[in-house]
Amino acid sequence: MSDAAASPAVAEDEAALATPFVKCLVRLIRAQDSYGSWEGKSDAELLADFIITKEQRRAIPINGDPDPDVLWRLDMFYTAVGLAIEERSGLMTSPVKPMRASGACFSRSGGWSFCRDVYRFGFETFRKLAEAGTKLVDDATAALRPIPTWHGREETDSRKDLCQT
> Can you tell me the distance from the alpha carbon of 8 to that of 5, in angstroms, rounded to the nearest whole number?
6
91 C-beta neighbours (distance < 10 Å), count: 15
| pLDDT, position 61 | 80
| pLDDT, position 82 | 92
Q: What confidence category does residue 7 fall into, taking pLDDT thresholds of 50, 70 and 90? A: confident
What secondary structure letter does DSSP report for 65? Answer: S
Q: Is the pLDDT of residue 55 over 80?
A: yes
Q: What confidence category does residue 159 fall into, taking pLDDT thresholds of 50, 70 and 90? A: very low
Q: Is the pLDDT of residue 148 over 80?
A: no
| pLDDT, position 10 | 78
In 3D, which of 68, 66, 69 has the Cα closest to residue 115? 66
| pLDDT, position 3 | 52
Compare 97 and 12 and report the one with higher pLDDT: 12
| pLDDT, position 68 | 85
> Can you tell me the distance from the alpha carbon of 27 to that of 163, in angstroms, rounded to the nearest whole number?
10
| pLDDT, position 115 | 56
| Mean pLDDT across 117-146 | 88
| pTM score | 0.74
> Can you tell me the distance from the alpha carbon of 53 to that of 59, in angstroms, rounded to the nearest whole number?
10
**Structure confidence by residue, pLDDT tens digits, 93-121:** 876 655 555 544 444 444 444 556 677 88
| Mean pLDDT across 45-63 | 89
| Mean pLDDT across 142-159 | 61
Beta strands in 1-154 (DSSP E): 104-108, 111-115
Q: What confidence category does residue 89 fall into, taking pLDDT thresholds of 50, 70 and 90? A: confident
Contact in structure between 21 and 133 (CB atoms under 8 Å): yes
